[in-house]
Structure 1
Amino acid sequence: MSVLYPITKKYHVQFCGLFAIFLTGLLAATNLSAQTPAKPGEKSSFKSSLVNVEAAASETFRYSAVLLNGTSEAKVYELQAKLPEGWAVTFRTLGSQVTSVNVEAGKFQEVTVELNARPESKPSKYNIPVTATSAGDRLELNLEAVLRGSYGIELTTPTGRLSDDVTEGSMKEIHLVVRNNATLPLENVELTAQAPSHWDVTFEPSKIDRLDPLKTLDVKAKLKVPDKTIAGDYVTTFTAKNANATANAAFRMTVKTSVLSGWIGMLVILLAIGLVYYLIRKYGRR
């Protein structure tokens, strides 16, 4: 063991040194590839091998572009995009978000363009021009974003409040709002509820045949609380669902004891006290 340990330690140090040299070389190669020399005589350009991307409104349209500076001097290019209303663009270089990029003379820089659509944008093909502008140089890249339709549904109340009070043995009417918050119509939407045991829930209407994009529909949920329900908080989960989308709303209901039940309880207590007093008066003297 006293002989092998120094040898093992020696090779361990050599391995660490070789690994450090390899890592340094890899980082240097990465930095060199960030701006690669262009072919002699090439003119400045802004190009992408993929200019047409199809995605849903919830996804990101991503394009890999190459910005070439064919001039004899370094230039800073400002990156911009002409977007549909409500859309957003992000430019990335070497993994960092940028709004402009410095390109050395006769070299090119890779730029990633990310587009995000507005959730309620209509399914269609959108033409989006992207420009890289510097002093005396304006380069344009024309991109296409094909937006697919999407399904989405929301279930809430007109005020957003999801709690209320109810008296045991009574019925409570709750106003709900079903909203299509996507770009495709919703068909055959069913309304259901998961309520505490022995509670009864009915809906008006109980089924929505069709709900167009960005449209809403008012729904009444009638909640029947059984007699003698113990006072406290209870949760009922309402659901709006079809084959393509689902939405839930957890509604907290605080059950209170009725006034009549309270008076009956007090009367029973008074009768019990009176009975005890009578028994004491009658049998206490014996």
Structure 2
Amino acid sequence: MSQKNLLKTNFNRVFSTISLAAVLLTGAKANAQEQKQSTASAALSAKLINLESATNEPFRFSLTLHNSTSSRQLYELKAELPVGWQMSSRVDGSTVTSLNLEAGQSREIALEITATSNAKAGKYIIPFKAVSPAQTLSVALEAVVKGNYAAILATPSGRLSEELTSGGHKDIELEVRNTGTLPLQNLEVTSQLPSGWETSFEPAKIEKLEAGKTARVKVLLRVPDKTIAGDYAATFNLAGNNVSSQAAFRIFIKTSLLSGWIGVLVILIALGCVYALIRKYGRR
């Protein structure tokens, strides 16, 4: 073998050795990086990273933060939220924005995230971080907005006043409107009335009301006898699993015609008695 070929062979061997060493070094760095990321991930974890809720119900995540360093760390708790969203984090029932952990210590964090009322349905990725001078820990949370619950209690005409006679009764028609994007269930209407007044409802409960739909509730309002004439307030309340609403009525009570005539008759009798007494004793 010529000297030229020998040099070429030795060069190829050296180049192969260097290449192999570079590959092994790159692999070692990658493994170290993966191990570091795995350790950081394990230091901040969530029991469930994906939660589904309506816009008027908070997302409640349960996380565990572990100080994997060899010294005490002060972790700042923060999240990258969509515009208008709110976050609060609690530890042992107290609201916190940062957390002190001794080396090797772990604590449970109750994280509550609230979407805006006009948030569009869909999945939102929320990075949550615990940042200390020594390390930055993060976990990607998923908040799935499925829509919103909303309802209005009103009347078909919009009128919120009625007139009744003392001792009488009247039918009032209420309208329940599902103004949200999700179905409503177990809706019930109740009343707050002056003492002695009574109501009954038909139907007593609405089992389910789809989004955009309305339902009618007939109310039979009874007023006791001898109710003093005047203005009264009556409030009807709508309550369900996810919503509440109310309608405030002004009720005007007037006395019956018979009661009026009886009152007039009593006054006339009293005047007659006075007149008779004056004629009788006025002559003496």
TM-score using structure 1 length: 0.51
**Does structure 1 residue 101 correspond to structure 2 residue 103?**
no
Give 3-state SS (helix, strand or coil) of 1:107's partner. Answer: coil
Q: Could you say which residue in structure 2 is the equivalent of 1:142?
A: 140
After superposition, the Cα gap between the structure-2 partners of 1:92 and 1:67, relative to the gap in structure 1 and judged at 3 Å, is farther
**What's the CA shift for 1:73?**
4.0
Contact 1:48–1:66 under 8 Å retained in 2? no
Q: Choose from 218, 228, 234 the match for 1:232.
A: 228
Contact 2:228–2:255 under 8 Å retained in 1? no
Q: Choose from 64, 74, 82 the match for 2:72.
A: 74
1:1-286 equivalent positions in 2, closer than 5 A: 43-45=39-41, 46-56=44-54, 57-58=56-57, 60-70=59-69, 72-104=70-102, 107-118=104-115, 120=117, 121-135=119-133, 137-149=135-147, 151-155=149-153, 180=178, 182-184=180-182, 230-232=226-228, 238=236, 249=247, 251=249, 253-257=251-255, 265-266=263-264, 268-274=266-272, 277-278=275-276, 281=279
**What's the CA shift for 1:109?**
2.5
Take 1:186 and 1:87, find their aligned partners in 2: how far apart are those partners?
Answer: 24
94-103 or 266-275: bigger deviation: 266-275
Give 3-state SS (helix, strand or coil) of 1:232's partner. Answer: coil
Take 1:52 and 1:243, find their aligned partners in 2: how far apart are those partners?
Answer: 23
5+ residue gaps in structure 1? 1-39, 202-209
Contact 2:128–2:140 under 8 Å retained in 1? yes
Larger Rg: 2
Identity of aligned residues (%): 40
Take 1:225 and 1:74, find their aligned partners in 2: how far apart are those partners?
Answer: 70
**What's the CA shift for 1:87?**
3.5
Contact 2:150–2:178 under 8 Å retained in 1? yes
**Cα deviations across residues 19-56 of structure 1 (Å, max 9, x unaligned)?**
xxxxxxxxxxxxxxxxxxxxx98854433353122345
After superposition, the Cα gap between the structure-2 partners of 1:150 and 1:276, relative to the gap in structure 1 and judged at 3 Å, is same
Contact 1:58–1:119 under 8 Å retained in 2? no
Q: Could you say which residue in structure 1 is the equivalent of 2:9?
A: none
Counterpart code for 2:81: L
Counterpart code for 1:144: E
CA RMSD of aligned residues (A): 5.7
After superposition, the Cα gap between the structure-2 partners of 1:103 and 1:181, relative to the gap in structure 1 and judged at 3 Å, is farther
| Structure showing the higher helix proportion among its residues | 2
After superposition, the Cα gap between the structure-2 partners of 1:283 and 1:47, relative to the gap in structure 1 and judged at 3 Å, is closer
Contact 1:63–1:113 under 8 Å retained in 2? yes
**Cα deviations across residues 201-253 of structure 1 (Å, max 9, x unaligned)?**
9xxxxxxxx8857x9x9x9x999999x96333867564668999775657463
Give 3-state SS (helix, strand or coil) of 2:125's partner. Answer: strand
136-145 or 86-95: bigger deviation: 86-95
**What's the CA shift for 1:116?**
3.6
Contact 1:47–1:66 under 8 Å retained in 2? yes
After superposition, the Cα gap between the structure-2 partners of 1:268 and 1:176, relative to the gap in structure 1 and judged at 3 Å, is same
Take 1:64 and 1:274, find their aligned partners in 2: how far apart are those partners?
Answer: 88
Counterpart code for 1:62: F
Contact 1:194–1:236 under 8 Å retained in 2? yes
Give 3-state SS (helix, strand or coil) of 1:145's partner. Answer: strand
Counterpart code for 2:228: G
**What's the CA shift for 1:184?**
1.6
**What's the CA shift for 1:277?**
3.5
Contact 2:47–2:61 under 8 Å retained in 1? no
Counterpart code for 1:109: S
Q: Could you say which residue in structure 1 is the equivalent of 2:27?
A: none
After superposition, the Cα gap between the structure-2 partners of 1:62 and 1:279, relative to the gap in structure 1 and judged at 3 Å, is same
Give 3-state SS (helix, strand or coil) of 2:272's partner. Answer: helix
Take 1:146 and 1:50, find their aligned partners in 2: how far apart are those partners?
Answer: 13
Contact 2:182–2:210 under 8 Å retained in 1? no
5+ residue gaps in structure 2? 1-34, 202-208
Take 2:247 and 2:122, find their aligned partners in 1: how far apart are those partners?
Answer: 32
